[in-house]
Amino acid sequence: MLNVKNLTFSYNKIPVLSNVSFKAKKGENIAIIGESGSGKSTLLKVIYGEYDLDNGQIFWNDNRILGPKFNLVVGYDFMKYVAQEFELMPPLSVEENIGKFLSNFYPEEKKRRTAELIEVVELTAFSKTKVKTLSGGQKQRVALARALAKAPEIILLDEPFSHIDNFKKQSLRRSVFKYLKEKNITCIVATHDKEDVLGLADKMIVLHEHKVLAQDMPQVLFKNPKTPLIASFFGEFNIINNDIVYAHQLQVVPKSNLKAIIIKSYYKGHYYLIEAKINNSKVFFEHPTELKKDALVFVEISK
């Protein structure tokens, strides 16, 4: 189990993280979300042991995670960290980059494990390709497979799919997180993308102004967003009568107390996102068809 206790960290005397606490069980997937500058990436680096704490403690089972004041070499054998900077070996092929961290004493096992990991990150067709010729997204996938090569007990992922093309992200996410669950590897992922969280994360931690604003299952935070920041992570929302209302919760009805003047319709595939005004306040709601500009419609909140 990962146990983060009252973690406080400053960089050049500037507060970055304040009194952060959470736990992650073995095999659990924890998503860290927050605005840019909220401390997501720094939190991963601190957990990895890259920085010394101002206060607090970090444990993986009985092992206390310590920073460079205590360790000449940063990091631990049971933990891997995949940053947005890939640190690969460009002249080597994909399979050589991954196999580099597997024992040569068992060549058949090395070959099997390398092929398995290349399949997990969906790069089988590029196994013999030199890394220096790959795209940024492909390099990111190689870095991820390489981190998994030594079967870590816990892996820290910083925006792991940020360089991946949209058409590839969905299947890759499913493949990677399925593999982590099967191998019972604890995962802490820093992300700004809700697709990295919904349906994949066991728990979501929201950082705001260097502190933990909320932590719970994604389903709970989605259904009961306590602040606009939390709601914004999940999609378009409105503030109506001091309540947070998602765009999909507003529906057009024959008659209600909420009159909306249509401003614009945005095509979203299977629905239109409608921008409108209610009492001179801008709102958004979803509708199956395009609505005419300046039209008057009635809407109600559907829970």
Q: Which CATH number does the domain housing residue 268 bear?
A: 2.40.50
Measured CA to CA, the distance from residue 273 to residue 287 in angstroms comes to 6
pLDDT of residue 196: 83
Which single residue is written with the structure tokens 């940053």? 83
Q: Are the CB atoms for 38 and 208 separated by under 8 Å?
A: yes
User: Do the domain assignments include residue 26?
Assistant: yes
User: Do the domain assignments include residue 230?
Assistant: no
Mean pLDDT lowest among 160-164, 170-174, 204-208: 160-164
User: Do the domain assignments include residue 231?
Assistant: no
Local confidence band at 60 (pLDDT 50, 70, 90 cut-offs): very high
CA-based angle 214:241:233, to the nearest 5? 35
The three state secondary structure string of 122-152 is CCHHHCCCEHHHCCHHHHHHHHHHHHHCCCC
Same domain, residue pair 240 and 219? no
Residue 212 has pLDDT above 80, yes or no: yes
Same domain, residue pair 204 and 134? yes
Name the average pLDDT for the chain. 92
Q: Is the dihedral of CA 235, 241, 243, 248 positive or negative?
A: negative
Same domain, residue pair 58 and 194? yes
Same domain, residue pair 148 and 251? no
213-241 mean pLDDT: 94
Measured CA to CA, the distance from residue 52 to residue 66 in angstroms comes to 7
Q: Is the dihedral of CA 40, 179, 168, 29 positive or negative?
A: negative
Same domain, residue pair 43 and 91? yes
In the three-class reduction of DSSP (H, G, I as helix; E, B as strand; rest coil), residue 244 is classed as strand
233-240 mean pLDDT: 93
Residue 252 structural domain: 236-301
Same domain, residue pair 218 and 282? no
User: Do the domain assignments include residue 80?
Assistant: yes
pLDDT of residue 85: 67
Same domain, residue pair 46 and 80? yes
pLDDT of residue 75: 84
Same domain, residue pair 52 and 94? yes
Count: domains in the chain: 2
pLDDT in tens, 8-23: 999 888 889 999 999 9
Q: What percent of the chain has pLDDT over 90?
A: 74
Pick the last residue of a domain from 158, 191, 223.
223
Same domain, residue pair 206 and 138? yes
Measured CA to CA, the distance from residue 70 to residue 66 in angstroms comes to 6
Residue 269: phi and psi, rounded to 5, are 100, -100
Same domain, residue pair 167 and 265? no
Residue 303 has pLDDT above 80, yes or no: no
Same domain, residue pair 289 and 140? no
Same domain, residue pair 92 and 164? yes
pLDDT of residue 281: 93
Give the count of beta carbons closer than 10 Å to the beta carbon of residue 155.
23
